[in-house]
Structure 1
């Protein structure tokens, strides 16, 4: 079950550092921001408008007109979706959008929100901290491009006013941590296919007449193609200066997501050849995702299973009792008794004490990267450790099946 209703930016830690550094971003209200909110309300012909601030677990308001709003959990926020890109977010009828029809603010028992139009508020650091938006309890026709252009200009005015308090703009330091995090996580995935490629070629060189040669050649070719594709995707949809990775969402078949790992035969860390099979019961349905990033996540988990997991590796997909899509990678290995499962969800932690780096269930640096990519899709990531099997599960919200 997915308890979260919102995606999490890939660079969330860096984004929050930038938000907390804005000099004028306090809960003390001013007439200026109320006036901008009132202008947005009239522009969109909505009864409600506000300037939101998205923090780690909550959303609060720099200014609100048309309603009384207190700080609320991010599960009740639409603006957590708005900050995922530089583009405006317009939803003419929230109840008809697969992303929001079960949202607490939309579903039966809530306030019955229907129309939403908002623009992200982008700091000079490049990070998005919230939105300027309008809300209504009845559907609207989509606003014109001219209307949204004016709303975007009003949003820039909000940012300018916030960063100009106090009168002299605060100096925003270059976030080296964000760059380091981004480079470490993505760099790991750039190196992993190369490792597999070189390992396969070394085995081919040592055993030129081996019956495994054709499969090793095919696996090496797949790794090379994957590496080239990943580099192109990273360049096109990332910004290393802010540590951000954006989604290129599109409809695809779930079976296509396993194409890169299907029928691979690869050498593990000990040189033993291992095969990857797709489960015969795997669901094949349309899904709306960034296929490149989901493939990266599945590839990371599969390669970790090859390097550190058991001999039998299987991938597949299905749905849970709530209709959420589950993509999984299972291997027949057991997690070491030294591995602290909770620690495996923290960036750059392999598990437990530094002296016990054995992760025979197929876990490693690929896990925090996978978690970030899954959360970027609004999903959850889970590892199930059983006596004779370790399963890594990517769980994506049901609306991604409906939107396809």
Structure 2
């Protein structure tokens, strides 16, 4: 049996089972590697580095990142290294390949060359300031050392913080946080995806540093997705109010003493996407807005000859999303409808079809257009 505990990142690169798990996982390979990680949690960082190398190589060759292609690259490098080595040495007795000094030297040289290629590809594709990375931020915290929770399993795990806030950490994610928060702020660092349910404390803001972004809250629930290999960071709000900034702008404001930082303010059922390549914050409504009050009385979603303005007002209360429309133009529009399990967008589809209107999502709001009813 292969002793994977002795493997470094470059060794995993040439393991067929590991590459298959990283790029196109099957139930069998997923089960093996996830169980291995649970048994060897101290190797999680090495495995993560190896996965990044595999993905970079796979992206470079795109559809041609096959075992044959990788073997071909390795064979060519080994062959060239061996030729150079053989030309400098005299003929030696025949010994097994794995025991030949030149073979070990050739493989080592090949790995170095190939890893150099992969590293350049990976850096070019994910280039970002080193000072903004999860590794840099967590290793350069000026105060007490951080604790880290790494989720190497297949299910989400809950992390209870010292202030009572709960973080639901999704698979392939890492969270660093102090054992006890400081007297002025509550700061954590995320790589991956997590849902935060933050205890409200206006005197002590809660800050999440994640892949070139800073999310600031006082007390609310929201999701942050910030995987290192992805080009976007996403923040989706469930309850409360959240402010999101680019880390560069936030740090600049902190250093200069500015009280106001340009960012994006999110309310329930809104989301922000930060494009790392364009350095741009984009605000929108979440794909499937959820009701803010699950057990709202059913009569609020049953309408009989109801003015459409009252229907829209009810939807605003239920979902916390602002609906913009011309109330005067739609004054004569009446609605007869009953809703049960439909989400916000489905309900708007029905209402707009009924009154001959249309809608679009603009800057975290929904704008409804209609010529009116007669």
TMscore range, shorter length: under 0.3
Q: TM-score when scaled to structure 1?
A: 0.23
Higher strand share: 2
Max Rg structure? 2
| Higher RCO (Cα < 8 Å, 6 or more apart) | 1
Q: TM-score when scaled to structure 2?
A: 0.25
